[in-house]
Amino acid sequence: MAKVLVTRRQFEDQMDRLRAEAETVVLTRAAPATREELLEAVKGCTGIFAHINDRIDAAVMDASGESLKVIAEFGVGYDNIDTSAASERNIAVGNTPGVLTETAADFAFALIQAAGRRLAESDRFVRRGEWKWFEPLDLLGLDINGSTLGIIGMGRIGSSVARRATASGMNVVYFNRNRAKDELGARRTGSLDELLAESDFVTVHCPLTPETQGLIGTEQFQRMRSHAVLVNTARGPIVDTDALAEGLRTGEIAYAALDVTDPEPIPTGHPLLEMENVTLLPHIASATVGTRKKMSQMTVDNILAALHGKLPPNCVNGESITWG
Ligand code: DGY
């Protein structure tokens, strides 16, 4: 019988689908597997149901032995998987595109609004008992309507955010390698610098690649407007964390709302945790019941297809796979 490793607790109905066809090992510990545990747990696996903070590299693939056919990521981003190493070994890599687009866009737009109107900071203010009377000059935010939103990465999620922003009266500009299929009233800027200089809000929606790692660092914060808000729901390493902390401290930008950080989670004692002008969230952009269930189902679909000798329905390296 094939063996499948699932690296976190998942929806039981989807685990039952796997159990019907494979010996299914679910790692149920509260924390992610250590490197040693992962290398041990993958031995003899045909499939791995992986999550964003599992580093699935050549060593993990080789530790599984010759049997590994599929690595299915629970998510649309798969930067934690070495896809070149997988392709060299004829291992299919699957992901879950499309299903979380609207959920992630809802969340990014919620963060734009929450950061603009300083909601998390205001909540902390009330909880600390500091709200004593109406104060007309306290906790003033930034209007959403009439402001300019700069979208970095105008793919599926970026475009969905553009739709929400336009409907809320924002001017939208975007920076993307190619012109978007549907610009939705947004204007493509000639450069990232141009977008940063024009935007009141900047939201990140590009994938993490060697080209986008550290895309927003010291120089980019210097180009942003001093009242600007940065929202990152894509991947932490796209933004240089130290440069961000410095930019927020010196007033180069006003506010940041981060669903993703580098490192993730942000360690205890990190300067960002002490700052009032930052909202920090635990990578929950796709975390609704409906969407996470669909992601789990798609991940299992990808694994089961491979167990049946077929390419996963959502395969990112299908052109390199010689079975299926
Ligand atoms: C995704 O789908 O990429 C989410 O960030 C979860 O990892």
Would you kindly state where each structural domain of the chain is located, as residue ranges?
3-99+289-320, 101-280
324 has a pLDDT exceeding 80: no
- Asked whether the domain spanning 101-280 has the same topology as the one spanning 3-99+289-320, the reply is yes
Ligand 1 touching residue 75 (CB < 6 A): yes
Assess if CATH 3.40.50.720 describes domain 3-99+289-320: yes
- Pairwise CA distance, residues 269 & 260, whole Å: 17
Element (H, E) at 257: strand 255-258
Q: Whose CA is nearest to atom 1 of ligand 1?
A: 75
Residue numbers annotated as active site: 235, 264, 283
- The rounded Å distance from CA 152 to ligand 1 centre is 17
Contacts 24+ apart (CB under 8 A), 213-220: 213/237, 213/238, 214/238, 214/239, 214/240, 215/152, 215/239, 216/152, 216/240, 216/243, 216/244, 217/243, 218/243, 218/246, 218/247, 220/192, 220/193, 220/196
Give the number of other CB atoms < 10 A from CB of residue 16: 11
Ligand 1 touching residue 104 (CB < 6 A): no
- Predicted pLDDT at 182: 87
E-strand ranges in 85-181 read: 92-94, 148-152, 171-175
Statement: the pTM of the whole predicted model exceeds 0.85: yes
- Pairwise CA distance, residues 226 & 183, whole Å: 27
pLDDT tens for each residue of 145-204: 999 999 999 999 999 999 999 999 999 999 999 999 889 999 999 999 999 999 999 999
- Pairwise CA distance, residues 296 & 10, whole Å: 7
Give the number of other CB atoms < 10 A from CB of residue 265: 12
Give me the chain's average pLDDT, please.
Answer: 97
- Pairwise CA distance, residues 188 & 140, whole Å: 30
- The rounded Å distance from CA 126 to ligand 1 centre is 33
- Predicted pLDDT at 91: 98
Mutate to test the pocket of ligand 1, among 10, 100, 205 (most ligand atoms within 8 A of CB): 100
pLDDT tens for each residue of 52-102: 999 999 999 999 999 999 999 999 999 999 999 999 999 999 999 999 999
- The rounded Å distance from CA 37 to ligand 1 centre is 23
Residue with tokens 């499948």: 4
Residue 235 tokens read as 């991947």
- Pairwise CA distance, residues 293 & 10, whole Å: 9
- 101-280 to CATH, choices 3.40.50.720, 1.10.730.10, 3.50.50.60, 3.40.190.80: 3.40.50.720
- The rounded Å distance from CA 226 to ligand 1 centre is 30
